[in-house]
Amino acid sequence: MANYEKEINRRRTFAIISHPDAGKTTLTEKFLLYGGAINLAGSVKGKATARHAVSDWMEIEKERGISVTSSVLQFEYDGFCINILDTPGHQDFSEDTYRTLMAADSAVMVIDASKGVEAQTRKLFKVCVMRKIPIFTFINKLDRDANDTFELLDEIEKELGIATCPVNWPIGSGKRFQGVYDRDRQCIITYSDTEKGTKEGEIAEISTADTKALEAAIGEEAAGILKDEVELLDGASAEFDLEKVQAGELTPVFFGSALTNFGVEFFLRHFLTMTTTPLPRRADAGLISPTDNDFSAFVFKIQANMNKAHRDRIAFMRICSGKYEASMEVKHVQGGKVMRLSQPQQIMASERKILEEAYAGDIIGVFDPGIFAIGDTLCMPKEQFCYEGIPTFAPEHFARVRQLDTMKRKQFVKGITQIAQEGAIQIFQEFNTGMEEIIVGVVGVLQFDVLKYRLENEYNVEIRLEPLPYEHIRWIENKDVNLDKLVGTSDMKKIRDLKGNPLLLFINAWSVGMTLDRNEGLILSEFGRD
Ligand code: G4P
């Protein structure tokens, strides 16, 4: 057990989130560079082509040159074993992006200093807040002209509703970017545009108490501005409080430029001391401690047909406690079966590697012969508990599915149900009819194409999708509600999910409020529960 503990306690598992183009890939690449996982930065970016070799399960990925699925990277740095969960960076992200956050202990949010908080960050952020995931902010691209620093912080606080605590502070931006001020050590670290792809850069550290040296380094004017800003900052910003950070109430903020490597290692070093070891997880039997319990894991993602030749599915699971050893027997609680996990592997950039052992905090992918569902628990054969389910996230786009050849009804129902089970889409029925009218809901519109493509290619069924105008879906929390008596608005639609739970669709947010007003005691939720 003691051996587990050491391995588990050096693990740090986090998701990296951003709006497309903020610099998530570049930052990840630089992390790997510092960790020595790659010699030259660029390999991650290069995976744009290499990655397809692994996940060429769908032509759409290739055609559009984007990754529909998310991957996991593991690397070592300074004695830590770090797992980064990548989230699809394209605007058309899916529910998987949200689910990935369920498998992480913290999140790193990358923000473009000239753009501020953008749409995708906002959405992912909501999920972090719901789960109280600690959030670390890296404000990137300081080598380009940036927005006013105070305004950026203000925006994060207002838009995301979380207090900020800058760990360092930028000195200028764009052509006038001169480095950062380290608040803790009260010194400046001068900027050097290190050659792209190398980690060596000439940086100097100068104490701000040494006015002469400071002015000599950054100029009198910049030194004066810095002094004023630091005074203002010390008076106005929230004090650093690790407990608040770990409760997801305060985000430490770092400034840097991933492209030129500036501020990346500073971030990594501080982040690793502030983020948590793998956290205990709630199960029906109470909290399961990562170090005091034997192996357990839960499935957070299922990916179909990564290898076209085999039509296989891979179930990604987060190990929550103990140690996994190859060929060990585990129990799939929901299926009620004891089994050996088949070829557990880690997906490292574009390669897969078969694992001999893995620990709490790690993510493994196993071949799934079609038995796992999202949220399923695996544990030791002698144990019996289930981890809390993963919520269903609200789709934002809806379409009615029309099957073109009604003779293929069986394949159609089988196909669409299987695809829904993998979690890429959600399917609903009209409130009063059966499977003849199917409504499909997705988080990102790309999933509509994925559905159409897969039904045609894997199930030989052609469909037509008719977009519906709804944008808001709400689960009904009240157990005893009579849907027939519910008074809605004229644009409201009553539907059911596959488990028979009633839901409501609305065209606009106003109607949601109106319906709540008209039905006393009605409780609507943006997240569905298992
Ligand atoms: P993403 O994963 O969040 O979508 O962003 P990615 O890292 O791919 O970065 C998007 C673009 O921003 C890239 O340029 C990248 O080089 C650039 N970038 C990232 N970090 C910085 C930074 O600190 N400073 C500056 N100036 N640029 C940065 P691109 O032209 O789209 O791609 P590429 O041709 O350079 O690879």
Query: How does pLDDT run across 42-84, given as a tens digit for each residue?
Result: 334 333 333 333 333 344 444 443 333 446 778 889 999 999 8
Structural tokens at position 253:
């903020």
Among 274, 298, 330, the domain boundary falls at 274
**Domain shared by 187 and 324, yes or no:** no
Q: What is the CATH number of the domain that holds 343?
A: 2.40.30.10
For residues 190-208, one letter each, b for 16 or more C-beta atoms within 10 angstroms of the residue's C-beta and e for the rest, the string is bbeebeeeeeeeebeebeb
Among 350, 379, 408, the domain boundary falls at 379
Burial (CB < 10 A; 0-12, 13-18, 19+), residue 453, is middle
Span from the CA of 23 to the centroid of ligand 1 (angstroms) = 5
H helices of 288-338, where? none
Q: What is the mean pLDDT of residues 337-363?
A: 72
Q: How many domains, in total, are found in the chain?
A: 3
Ligand 1 pocket residue status of 45, Cβ below 6 Å: yes
pLDDT at 420 over 50: yes
CA distance 257 to 177: 10
Q: What are phi and psi of 220, to 5 degrees?
A: -65, -45
Q: Please say whether the beta carbons of 89 and 65 come within 8 A.
A: no
- The mean-pLDDT minimum among 21-30, 46-55, 231-240, 320-329 falls in 46-55
pLDDT at 430: 84
**Domain shared by 266 and 287, yes or no:** no
Q: What is the mean pLDDT of residues 1-11?
A: 84
Among 274, 300, 331, the domain boundary falls at 274
**Domain shared by 52 and 155, yes or no:** yes
**Domain shared by 207 and 301, yes or no:** no
Residue 97 lies in a domain: no
Distances in whole angstroms, Cα of residue 257 to Cα of each of 77, 111, 140, 266: 20, 11, 5, 11
The string of DSSP letters for 361-420 reads: T-EEEEEESS---TT-EEE-TT----BPPPPEEPP-EEEEEEES-GGGHHHHHHHHHHHH
Q: Please say whether the beta carbons of 34 and 199 come within 8 A.
A: yes
Residue 91 lies in a domain: no
Residue 247 lies in a domain: yes
Residues with Cβ < 8 Å from 296, sequence gap 6 or more?
283, 288, 319, 320, 321, 322, 377, 378, 379, 380, 383, 385, 387
* 416, amino acid identity: I
**Domain shared by 318 and 257, yes or no:** no
pLDDT at 242: 95
Q: What is the CATH number of the domain that holds 150?
A: 3.40.50.300
Ligand 1 pocket residue status of 256, Cβ below 6 Å: no
pLDDT at 521 over 60: yes
Ligand 1 pocket residue status of 257, Cβ below 6 Å: yes
**Domain shared by 25 and 157, yes or no:** yes
pLDDT at 356 over 90: no
pTM of structure? 0.83
pLDDT at 462: 95
Q: For residues 52 and 350, which has the higher predicted lDDT (pLDDT)?
A: 350
Q: What is the mean pLDDT of residues 97-123?
A: 90
Residue 295 lies in a domain: yes
**Domain shared by 462 and 510, yes or no:** yes
* 267, amino acid identity: F
pLDDT at 13: 96
**Domain shared by 20 and 156, yes or no:** yes
Residue nearest atom 33 of ligand 1, based on CA coordinates: 45
Q: How confident is the prediction for the chain on average, in pLDDT?
A: 84
Span from the CA of 27 to the centroid of ligand 1 (angstroms) = 9
Residue nearest atom 21 of ligand 1, based on CA coordinates: 259
Span from the CA of 465 to the centroid of ligand 1 (angstroms) = 35
CA distance 197 to 264: 13
Ligand 1 pocket residue status of 22, Cβ below 6 Å: yes
Ligand 1 pocket residue status of 120, Cβ below 6 Å: no
Ligand 1 pocket residue status of 141, Cβ below 6 Å: yes
Which residues span the domain enclosing 403? 397-525
**Domain shared by 44 and 159, yes or no:** yes
Ligand 1 pocket residue status of 140, Cβ below 6 Å: yes
**Domain shared by 442 and 500, yes or no:** yes
Ligand 1 pocket residue status of 437, Cβ below 6 Å: no
**Domain shared by 352 and 249, yes or no:** no
